[in-house]
Amino acid sequence: MRIVVLAGGIGGARFLRGLKQAAPDADITVIGNTGDDIHLFGLKVCPDLDTVMYTLGGGIHEEQGWGRAGETFAVKEELAAYGVGPEWFGLGDRDVATHIVRTQMLGAGYPLSAVTEALCKRWEPGVRLLPMTDDRVETHVVVDTGEGRKAVHFQEYWVGLRAEPTAHAVVPVGAEQAAPAPGVLEAVAAADVVLFPPSNPVVSIGTILAVPGVREAIADAGVPVVGLSPLIGGAPVRGMADKVLAAIGVESTAAAVAAHYGSGLLDGWLVDASDAEAVPEVERVGIRCRAVPLLMSDTAATAAMARAALELAEEVRA
């Protein structure tokens, strides 16, 4: 079975770990969000791709969900001693090596997809990890500041400002001019099923879908497309998805997110068992819906979620 998964960072990475357990023989291609990418200290940082790579490759800081296990911060401390910021970015020493290798390869002319493949040779994530695009796309968020509104890089909004200022718009800068990375459309066309993990529907999956051709390829693939709600009981399980949903005028409920994707894209949708009352609402807009436990408390629980998603996909197909 060929499964294509659109993934952001922590939520996507943890879901993938469950999916690998649930479908050990599946051929999994991950289309990773690169809208979070940022140039920091002259280095190219790809937080979502790295989170997937480290999580599936056994290098992730488990409790934190991002960054490396056993990480140290000498480089960051020294940069601060030179007065070079931003200080809000958690740049670990081990992580720096990944960014150095990536930056050096990009500088030598390799596209991000080739760089990602090279980095994955070390991590052996057990999936094929593709960036959504080799082109530069950067998600910017329009926020209120003391001196009026301004657009800041998503990382500054999310990490630096902890999503506290009101977000008025989320713009994947460069997405309109971007092309899907080599292999992305081919993987979608060859897929037996497409899954949307409980990743952020705006700045993770939404950004991937904003790359011209990706949404259309998924809608036209003629295979089941099943998503899992990142919201439980009207709130994100992790992160601050509600803030960016508000910015694009979508209510923070499992049903509203399903309707936002729409029945033209989504065939099936899983909501948490505690959100069972949303099922008829989702089915009314033409999306098959089931309520199952959606807390990724451990890999076994996550594998059960992945199985439920694959079962729903088979139901849709039949």
Extract the annotated binding site.
50
Residue 109 binding its own copies, by CB under 8 A: no
Residues 119-148 contacting its own copies, CB under 8 A: 119, 122
Angle (CA) 255-56-193 rounded to 5° is 45
> What distance in Å separates the CA atoms of residue 306 and residue 238, rounded to the nearest whole number?
18
Applying CB under 8 A, which of residues 107, 148, 222, 249 lies at the interface with its own copies?
107
Residue 81 binding its own copies, by CB under 8 A: yes
Applying CB under 8 A, which of residues 93, 135, 192, 283 lies at the interface with its own copies?
93
Cβ atoms of residues 156 and 90 within 8 Å = no
Rounded least distance, CB 274 to its own copies, Å = 42
Quick one: DSSP state of residue 198? Answer: S
> What distance in Å separates the CA atoms of residue 158 and residue 317, rounded to the nearest whole number?
38
The residue (of 38 and 205) whose beta carbon lies closer to its own copies is: 38
Applying CB under 8 A, which of residues 24, 25, 42, 318 lies at the interface with its own copies?
42
Rounded least distance, CB 68 to its own copies, Å = 8
Residue 100 binding its own copies, by CB under 8 A: yes
Residue 104 binding its own copies, by CB under 8 A: yes
- Secondary structure (3-state) at 246: helix
Applying CB under 8 A, which of residues 29, 34, 98, 199 lies at the interface with its own copies?
98
Return the H-helix or E-strand segment holding 225: strand 225-228
> What distance in Å separates the CA atoms of residue 96 and residue 211, rounded to the nearest whole number?
28
Rounded least distance, CB 29 to its own copies, Å = 23
Peptide bond into 197 cis (omega under 30): no
Piece of the chain touching its own copies by CB under 8 A; list 9-17, 67-75, 137-145, 181-189: 67-75
> What distance in Å separates the CA atoms of residue 232 and residue 271, rounded to the nearest whole number?
7
Rounded least distance, CB 52 to its own copies, Å = 17
> What distance in Å separates the CA atoms of residue 302 and residue 15, rounded to the nearest whole number?
6
The residue (of 103 and 263) whose beta carbon lies closer to its own copies is: 103
Residue 292 binding its own copies, by CB under 8 A: no
Applying CB under 8 A, which of residues 58, 64, 69, 74 lies at the interface with its own copies?
74
> What distance in Å separates the CA atoms of residue 290 and residue 250, rounded to the nearest whole number?
21
Residue 273 binding its own copies, by CB under 8 A: no
Interaction mask 22-41, its own copies, x per CB under 8 A: -------------------x
Cβ atoms of residues 44 and 131 within 8 Å = no
Cβ atoms of residues 6 and 193 within 8 Å = no
Rounded least distance, CB 89 to its own copies, Å = 13
> What distance in Å separates the CA atoms of residue 198 and residue 247, rounded to the nearest whole number?
19
Tokens of 178: 């971007």
Applying CB under 8 A, which of residues 30, 43, 163, 244 lies at the interface with its own copies?
43
Tokens of 33: 């969000």
The residue (of 98 and 200) whose beta carbon lies closer to its own copies is: 98
The residue (of 10 and 79) whose beta carbon lies closer to its own copies is: 79
Piece of the chain touching its own copies by CB under 8 A; list 70-78, 124-132, 136-144, 205-213: 70-78
Tokens of 188: 């979608």
Q: How far from chain centre, in Å, is Cα 304?
A: 20
> What distance in Å separates the CA atoms of residue 123 and residue 277, rounded to the nearest whole number?
41
Q: Which residues in this chain contact its own copies in the complex, by CB under 8 A?
A: 41-43, 72, 74-79, 81-84, 93-94, 96-98, 100-101, 103-104, 107, 119, 122
